[in-house]
Amino acid sequence: MPDPPPQPAAGRARRRQPRVKSPLWAQAALVLVAHGSERVAAAETATASHAKALGRRALFREVKACFLKAVPGPRETVASLHSSSAYIVPCFMSRGYAARTLVPQELGLAGPLTRLSRGARQAAPLERVFYCDPVGTHPRLTEVIARHVEETCRVHDLDPAAVSVLLVGHGTPRDPVSGEAARRHAARLEERAGFARVRAAFLEEPPYLKDAAEGLGGRPTVAVGLFAEAGAHGEEDVPRLLGLGPAAGPPGRAAAGDGAARIWYAGPIGPDPEIAEIVLDQVRAFDERYRAGEAGA
C-alpha cells in the first residue's frame, strides 16, 4: 500500500494563532490579486480559496479575489467595492514585473497609498487604496516551506539533516528581481539549518531546475514549488523536469531517481492555508508602516 501524501493543512490549523480584529479593517475591503489563467476557472484557484476563507472570518467589510489573466479582473473588482478604502495584496511569489508594474498600472496606483480623485472614483465610494507587499516576499513563508519539506521527510522516513532542498521559482532573465524572493528563502533555510543543503532553481533563468537537480550529488532531495497556484508550472512543468512524469500522483508521494539520489516533489506552496495568514501579515505590515498614526492602529 503506497504511503499517504503529506497533509500540510492539518499542521497549519494547529499552528494558527488567534487574530484580533483591527478597527482599521472593519470598514475596509481586502482584495487579493493573482495572475490567473485562461486554462483554470478562477473560482477554483488557491487565491479564490484564500479569499473565501478570509471572508468567513469577517475581519474586513468585504473580501474579493481578482486576476490579471482571468475574470473577474482587478478594475472591475475594485469598481464593485462598497468600502471607502481597500487593501490590495498581490498573491505573487516575488516582487517581479507583475507586482511592481502590471497591478499598479491596471488600478492606477501612485504608490503604496493612493488617494483617488472624485473623477477616478466615479460612482464608487472608494477613496483610498493601500497596496501591500506580495505574499511571497514575507519571511514567514520560509517556515511554511520548511514544514512542507519536513512533512515530506516524515512520510518517507527521511532524515531532514541528510536531505537536500530545491526551492523552485519561475524566474526570468528579463527581470532580475523576479528570482530574489526564491534566493532569499533558500538563504534563510540554509541559515536555519536542519537540512544538508538548500538551493534555489528556476524554470526560466539559471540555475535551471534540471541542471540544479543533477548537481546535488547522491543525497535524497525534496523540491518545493514557489508558485502561488497549483497551475501548469507547479503541477506539470516541475514534475516533468524532475523526471516524475505527468502521472506522478499527489505531491510528496512519487519520486524520481534511484537509491539515495531520489527526488521527491512536495508540490506548490501557494495552496497552503497559511498563505491566508501571510496575507494578513502583509496587511498588518502596511498598517504599521503607513497607518500607524490613525486611530486604533
**What are the residue numbers of the active site?**
170
d(CA 153, CA 130) in angstroms, rounded, equals 40
| Residue 270 burial (10 A CB sphere; 0-12, 13-18, 19+) | buried
Report whether 165 contacts 195 (CB < 8 A). Answer: yes
Would you give the end-to-end CA distance of the chain in angstroms?
53
Contacts of 17 (CB under 8 A, 6+ apart): none
Question: Dihedral of CA 272/273/274/280: which sign?
Answer: positive
DSSP character string of 34-61: E---SSS-GGGSHHHHHHHHHHHTT-SS
d(CA 33, CA 107) in angstroms, rounded, equals 11
d(CA 97, CA 174) in angstroms, rounded, equals 9
Collapsing DSSP states into helix, strand and coil, what is residue 92? coil
What is the bridge-based pairing of β-strands 164-169 and 197-202?
Answer: parallel
Report whether 63 contacts 105 (CB < 8 A). Answer: no
